[in-house]
Chains A and B, each alone.
Chain A
Amino acid sequence: MARRWLGAASPFLVVATLLLAWDGATRFGLADPRYLSRPWVVAALIWEWTRSGYILPHVAATFVEVGLGYVCGTVAGMAVAFLFFFRPRLAELCDPLVVLLNAAPRAILAPFAVLMFGIDLASKVMLVTLVVFTITLLSLSAGLKEVDRTIVDNARVMGAGTSDLTRHVYLPAALVWVVSAMRISIGQAFTAAIVCELLGATKGLGWIVAAGQSAVKPDWIMAGLFFAAVIVVLIDVAILAPLERRGSHWRVF
């Protein structure tokens, strides 16, 4: 009985221990609170920002950048994955490009995006789109190749043409892969948007973090990161994970 309670409570205990360690470290001179801040200071700031609504426009700005880029990237990734699937010669031709896109640390393109598209919405949406596009393309390309041969043959014998196959077989099968790609890419999408905001922005969570850095206010950085993390976790828990669970029995192997 006691063991079960301990099991359920242990994740919270870990967090509490870490917070205590953080507090202790700043209290007993192991870390400088001027650079690391203190848990209670950060908590107070988070509460203050939430209460006054100060954080709202910043959360909204980042959210809009990620949302737009996320939709564009997913749709473009799906379109290109299908194009490559039905035109394997084209896929072969573009393969080095895709490998490069996947292997290169995409955040490096952030300065480029800001230079080309300015410090407003466009640069962030571009970078998020690129990140989500790459993940969707790779995940879906692999997924389409795994669609069961027998199911495809069976549909063809039953009279399905290419458009029937796409609509009734490949697209539903692809959805499972698209959702799992969305789960992988949500965190990276926020990273891309925030990195872009760090480099040049007038609002957004990245701007908060950047402002905290230049004014040496570590509590601002911590609170900004807190909001970003909470949003990503909320989206995953509330939307993406249930979506993936719902589609899991579709998985065709």
Chain B
Amino acid sequence: MSDTLIALRDVARRYPAQGGRPTFTAVQDITLDIAEGSFVAVVGPSGCGKSTLLNMIAGLDAPSEGRITVAREIVAGRLRDDVGYLFQKDALLPWKTVQANVELPLVFRRMPGDHGRIAREWLARVGLAGFEGNFPHQLSGGMRKRVALAATFVYGPRILLMDEPFSALDVQTRNMMENELLDLWQQNNKTVVFVTHDLEEAIALADHVVVLTANPGRVKKQFRVTLDRPRNVNDIRFDDRFRDLHAEIWEALREEVARSYALQRQLVHG
């Protein structure tokens, strides 16, 4: 078994009361170990603090209680330079070309080497050779995600945080992107934390699936996914072991989805 790279100990994130709203607890009692080189999926109903968790690991947000360490160094609201983050929303700079967008992290990090060449190589690797001069708004949603993927891989982060990166794509594009992500991950030995509300996606991609409870998010249960690699996300859904796992994890998740739904109804109807 490989070493733990990311460790969370009794982590909670509370947002202070504001304007008559009581203190809001996004997540609490989160204790989690993520091994170097593993692919971990975090699933849970909407509003259970999945994104908050990623933001804290990235250092964009700091835990109110508990401790997060990456490679034995404490993360507390300070950004690390070995983390890549793929957001759910488009985060490319609309006023820069595809090529310039992919070069940007190299510029920010003052990395040595021929930025233009490195960026072109990564664009070719995600299948976008020939689109270097285009602007993001001229590309489809799937292509923009590829650019974001290239811009993340280009500076070689050790950890990849992904916040429902493919949720806005149509099913075919999405499956293609998932397969490409698996390829990239296996070639580059990254540690991936992948947040999604889609259980099938989680099982198809990950080694471990962590189920969070409805708000406030706690770790409800963890599952190991022992399906063989390399995987093809299109075929693996028909595997018997996939179906068994799906049934088993859904058993844990279903209750939380129902609770989250009830909570939201309460909010709406007072």
Interface residues of A, Cβ cutoff 8 Å to B: 148, 150-151, 153-161, 164, 168-169, 172-173, 249-252
Not counting A153-B91, A154-B91, A159-B108, a sample of 10 additional A-B residue pairs whose C-beta atoms are within 8 angstroms of each other reads: A148-B89, A150-B91, A151-B92, A155-B93, A157-B60, A159-B81, A161-B108, A173-B95, A249-B94, A249-B135
B positions within 8 Å CB-CB of A = 58, 60, 79, 81, 83-85, 87, 89-96, 104-105, 107-109, 135, 137, 151, 155
- Neighbour of A250 across the interface among B79, B91, B94, CB < 8 A: B94
Please tell me if the beta carbons of A157 and B84 are within 8 angstroms of each other in the complex.
Answer: yes
A-B contacts, 30 of them at CB < 8 A, read: A148-B91, A150-B87, A150-B89, A151-B91, A153-B85, A154-B91, A155-B91, A155-B93, A156-B60, A156-B79, A157-B58, A157-B60, A157-B79, A158-B151, A159-B81, A159-B108, A161-B108, A164-B107, A164-B108, A168-B96, A168-B107, A169-B93, A172-B93, A172-B95, A172-B96, A249-B94, A249-B137, A250-B94, A250-B95, A252-B94
Query: Which chain A residues border B79 with CB–CB below 8 Å?
Result: 156-157
CB distance from B159 to the nearest CB of A (A): 11
| CB-defined contacts of B87 to chain A, threshold 8 Å | 150, 153-154
Given contacts A150-B87, A150-B89, contact A155 B58 (CB under 8 A): no
Q: Of A151, A156, A161, which contacts B93 at CB under 8 A?
A: A151
Q: How far is the CA of A148 from the CA of B90 in the complex (A)?
A: 10
Return the 9 tightest CB-CB contacts between A and B, nearest first: A154-B91, A159-B108, A158-B105, A159-B109, A172-B95, A157-B85, A150-B89, A250-B95, A160-B108
Closest residue of chain B to A176 (Cβ to Cβ) is B95
Mostly, the B contact residues are loop
Q: Give the distance in Å from the alpha carbon of A215 to the alpha carbon of B135 in the complex.
A: 59
Cα distance, A42 to B91, chains bound together (Å): 56
Complexed CA–CA distance, A156 and B60 (Å): 9
Chain A's closest residue to B148 (CB) is A154
Q: Which residues of B contact A157 (CB under 8 A)?
A: 58, 60, 79, 83-85
Q: Given the complex of chains A and B, what is the CA–CA distance between A181 and B246 in angstroms? A: 55
**Interfacial chain A residues near B109, Cβ < 8 Å:** 158-159
- Least distance between A155 CB and chain B CB atoms (Å): 7
Q: Contact at B94–A155, with CB atoms within 8 Å? A: no
| Number of A-B residue pairs at CB separation under 8 A | 59
Report the nearest B residue to A169, measured CB to CB: B93
Q: Check A154 against B108 for contact (C-beta < 8 Å).
A: no
A91 to chain B, nearest CB (A): 20
Q: Which residues of A contact B85 (CB under 8 A)?
A: 153-154, 157
Report how far A173 CA is from B90 CA in the complex, Å: 15
Q: Which residues of B contact A158 (CB under 8 A)?
A: 104-105, 108-109, 151, 155
Q: How many Å from the CB of B138 to the closest CB on chain A?
A: 9
Complex-state Cα separation, A108 to B221, whole angstroms:
70
Task: Please name all residues of chain A whose beta carbon is closer than 8 Å to the beta carbon of B93 when the two chains form the complex.
Answer: 151, 155, 168-169, 172
CB distance from B136 to the nearest CB of A (A): 9
- Bound form: Cα–Cα A168–B84 in Å: 19
A169 to B108, CA, bound (A): 12
Give every chain A residue within 8 A of B104 (Cβ-Cβ): 155, 158, 168
A156–B137 Cα gap in the complex (Å)? 22
Nearest residue in B to A161 (C-beta to C-beta)? B108
Q: In whole Å, how far is A152's beta carbon from the nearest beta carbon of chain B?
A: 9
Q: Closest Cβ of chain B: how far from A171's Cβ, in Å? A: 10
- Least CB distance from B177 to A in Å reads 18
- Chain B residues with CB below 8 A from A148, complex form: 89, 91
CA distance A169 to B93 in the complex (A): 7
Nearest chain-B residue to A160 (Cβ)? B108
User: Which of B84, B94, B105, B155 has the most A CB atoms < 10 Å from its CB?
Assistant: B94
| Contact partners of A155 in chain B: CB under 8 A | 91, 93, 104, 108
In the assembly, what is the distance between CA of A155 and CA of B103, in Å? 12
**Complex Cα spacing A251 to B137, Å:** 11
Q: How far is the CA of A248 from the CA of B234 in the complex (A)?
A: 39
How far, in Å, is A150 (CB) from chain B's closest CB? Answer: 5
